Structure 1
Amino acid sequence: MRRLKSVDVCSGAGGLALGLENAGFDPVLLLDNRPIACETLRANRPDWNVLQLDLLDFDPVEHPTSYDVDLLSAGLPRVKSSATAKREETGIEQQLLRATVLLAHAVQPRALLIENVPELVEDQDFADVREYIQQELSHLNYGFHWFVVNAADFGVPQDRKQGILVALKEEYFDGFHPPIPTVTRHVTVGEALHTSMSSRGWAGADAWAAQADHVAPTLVGGSEKRGGADLGLTGTKKAWARMGINGNALADEVPGPDGIQESDHSGSELKKLTVDQTAILQSFPKDWRIEGKKTWKYRQIGHASPPPVGKALGMAVAAALRA
């Protein structure tokens, strides 16, 4: 079966691109403005054409491989509503969204995939954003599928809802159907992390895994403008605590035989996750290397799109393009 060609922008740690690769797409170009993200992409796929550049500065004329592709994909920074963006200094998230739409306008891929917050699909506060996208692309004979998926429905041990836009050229539109869940039962945190938690002989790993009997709350990478890695806001940390996890920081190692994590000086009986464990919860494969120090690794992981979701979306797009 013919492999399909894609361009991926705001690629981050490569979760979406990896999922799309597993679905049959080979990227001719991946774009991200952060050096550490580009290092991660190159470390895992030396043959990928990775360009470190701000999307706002990208000119497809200078990169002709971006033309005549089957798919333009974008795992963009979480978009804020127009009202919120106006209160902030830059509104960079909406700028990047509009830049993606204009790039689609320029290169006219057969399909466009944008992954973002569920509110982009459902909320009235984003109606103007949806209208902008459709006005820019509808006259180029794109049709639009807006829908929400939850990563937990695709085997990711995490309650992670994602707003999805798939726009396809008219001849492919009717062949697209949003992906259906691939699991009938969600994977819990305890199931996902039991092997890791018990790897140093922790005697309490079985009891901990039995307690951690829900999917994880949504992992968040946090802002690059503030301090170290933690697992979210107060409400989210309470949900983690109910599963025996201290969400205030990450540890450097899993518990030892006596349950001690040497890097944890909090005095709490709750266990801290490691960066590698957060990658498991995001469903990155074990051999996928995330470059950088601990906080930067976690930010890349938390901002990523889980690869199994990318694969499901890619398979749905590929089926439409091959119909």
Structure 2
Amino acid sequence: MSELRFVDVCAGAGGMALGLEHAGFEPVLLLDKNPVACDTVRRNRPAWQVLETDLLDFSPSQHQETYDVDLLSAGLPRVRSSATNARTETEAELRLLEATVYLAHAVQPRALVIENVPELVSVPDFEPIRDLIRDELNHLGYGFRWFLLNAADFGVPQNRRQGLLVAFKKQHFDAFRPPEPTVREHLSVGRALRRSMAMGGWRDADRWAAQAVGVAPTLVGGSDRRGGADLGPTGTRKAWARMGVDGGTVADNVPGPDFVWAPEAGRQGMVRITTDQAALLQGFPSDWGFTGKKTARYRQIGHASPPPVAKALGLAIRAALAAPATPVAGYTSTP
């Protein structure tokens, strides 16, 4: 496959970019304001150009290689309902959404993909930002659609629903089809982690894996301003407890031969997952390393876009760009 060029903003630890690379795209620039995440990408892909900067401060005029790329991708910080979260945080996340669309105005990619929470697709709280995006993309001559995907349908052992916006220059839009699931059976937590759980000599690894038959609940990275590494809020921790996993913290190492797994005894009898195992649950390959201390590593993983989903999106976008173009005259945009 010939490579297509893309720019990835709010790139984080590189999940979106890695998946797009596997779909035959070549990054010309990745940018993120988190220095630890930038170090992670540089460690794994030294040849990639990684820029440590805030998207709100980025000027494409100083990076001419970003113009006329095939794809602009963005796995943006998750927006939250203003009814349940601090208004300032919500507004900051929405500004990044606006900035991505305005960047498309400057860069003029043939395609655009934005990944975020599923609520962004249809919840009334976000209608104003959807209206802004619709008006701007129509003005720029893009056709677009919102849709949902679940990472579990693409071989990721996690129930992670994602809200997607995909846009194309109108002559390419009619050829786009959202990616279809790549697996018939979801990969369970036990199957995904059994081998790693046994690496320290833990004798109950097989017994634990045999009962961890579901996919993981959504990994939550949390805020950089609060708390340490844990697997999510109360409801998520209860789901982990049903699989015999203590979701209140993240382990430094896999269990050793002397660990007694007795989940009926409470947290002290439950197994804990490591950051490396969390990365497997997010769909990263085992050789993708993360820099920083434990909490920083876990947050990078929890905030990441799962690479297998990004690959499926990339292949669908690539197919649309390769298809015969539709004449623009007579085109009707998707609302």
* TM-score of the pair, normalised by structure 2: 0.92
Tell me, in whole angstroms, the C-alpha distance in 2 between the residues paired with 1:83 and 1:242.
Answer: 30
1:253 aligns with 2:253: yes
Asked if 2 retains the 8 angstrom alpha-carbon contact of 1:155 and 1:308, the reply is yes
> Are 2:184 and 1:175 equivalent residues in the alignment?
no
CA shift at 1:87, angstroms? 3.0
**Could you tell me how far 1:86 is from its partner in structure 2?**
7.9
Quote the residue 1:79 is aligned against: 79
Give the drift of 1:127.
1.4
Deviation at 1:122, TM superposition (A): 2.0
Matching of residues 137-148 of structure 1 within 5 Å? 137-148=137-148
Letter of the structure 2 residue corresponding to residue 39 of structure 1: D
Question: What's the CA shift for 1:85?
Answer: 7.4
Structure-2 residue corresponding to 1:229: 229
Quick one: distance in 2 between partners of 1:260 and 1:14? Answer: 36
The aligned counterpart of 1:164 is: 164
Alignment of 1:1-323 (within 5 A): 1-81=1-81, 87-88=87-88, 91-259=91-259, 268-323=268-323
Taking the aligned partners of 1:134 and 1:48, their CA distance within structure 2 comes to 32
Which SS does the other structure have where 1:109 is aligned? coil
Q: Give distance in 2, aligned partners of 1:87 and 1:258.
A: 48
Q: How many Å separate the matches in 2 of 1:28 and 1:318?
A: 17
| Equivalent residues of 1:20, 1:310 under 8 A apart | yes
* Residue pair 1:7, 1:73 contacting (<8 A) in 2 also: yes
Change (3 A) 1:83 1:269: closer
Cα deviation for residue 171 of structure 1 reads 0.7
1:198 offset after TM fit, Å? Answer: 1.1
Pair 1:86–1:298, CA change in 2 (3 A): closer
Is 2:3–2:24's contact at 8 Å kept on the other side of the alignment?
yes
Secondary structure of the 2:125 match is helix
CA 206–82 in structure 1, closer or farther in 2 if over 3 Å, else same: closer
In structure 2, relative to structure 1, the CA distance for the partners of 1:215 and 1:69 (3 Å cut) is same
> Residue 82 of structure 1 contacts residue 126 of structure 1 at CA under 8 Å; is this kept in 2?
no
Helix, strand or coil at the partner of 2:268: coil
| TM-score of the two chains, using structure 1 as the length reference | 0.96
How far did residue 138 of structure 1 move?
A: 0.7
2:29 and 2:49 in contact (8 A); partners too: yes
TM-fit CA distance, 1:236: 0.6
Task: Point out the more displaced range, 11-20 or 134-143.
Answer: 134-143
- In 1, distance between residues paired with 2:194 and 2:231? 19
Deviation at 1:81, TM superposition (A): 4.2
1:46-80 CA-to-partner distances (Å, cap 9, x unmatched) read 11010001000001111111101000000000013
> Contact between 2:72 and 2:113, CA under 8 Å: does it hold in 1?
yes
CA contact (8 A) 1:80 1:94 kept: no
RMSD: 1.5
**Distance in 2 between residues matched to 1:248 and 1:170, nearest whole Å:** 47
The 3-state SS of whatever aligns with 1:164 is strand
SS of equivalent residue, structure 1 residue 214:
coil
Cα distance in 2 for residues equivalent to 1:112 and 1:23: 15
Q: Which runs of 5+ in 1 are unaligned?
A: none
Cα distance in structure 2, aligned partners of 1:73 and 1:89:
22
* 2: CA distance, partners of 1:289 / 1:224: 20
Output the CA distance in 1 between the equivalents of 2:226 and 2:69. Answer: 38
Shift of 1:95: 0.7
* 1:118/1:233 CA distance change after superposition, 3 Å: same
Report the 3-state secondary structure (helix = DSSP H, G, I; strand = E; otherwise coil) of the residue aligned with 1:308.
helix
Give, in angstroms, the shift of residue 319 of structure 1: 0.4
Tell me the alpha carbon deviations over residues 176-202 of structure 1, each in whole angstroms, 9 at most, x when there is no partner: 000000000000000000001111221
Residue 126 of structure 1 and its aligned partner are, at CA, apart by 1.3
CA distance, structure 2, for counterparts of residue 86 and residue 166 of structure 1: 28
Q: Distance in 2 between matches of 1:295 and 1:100?
A: 28
Give 3-state SS (helix, strand or coil) of 2:144's partner. strand
Check the 8 A contact 2:246/2:267 in 1, yes or no.
no
Q: How far apart are 1:257 and its partner, in Å? A: 1.3
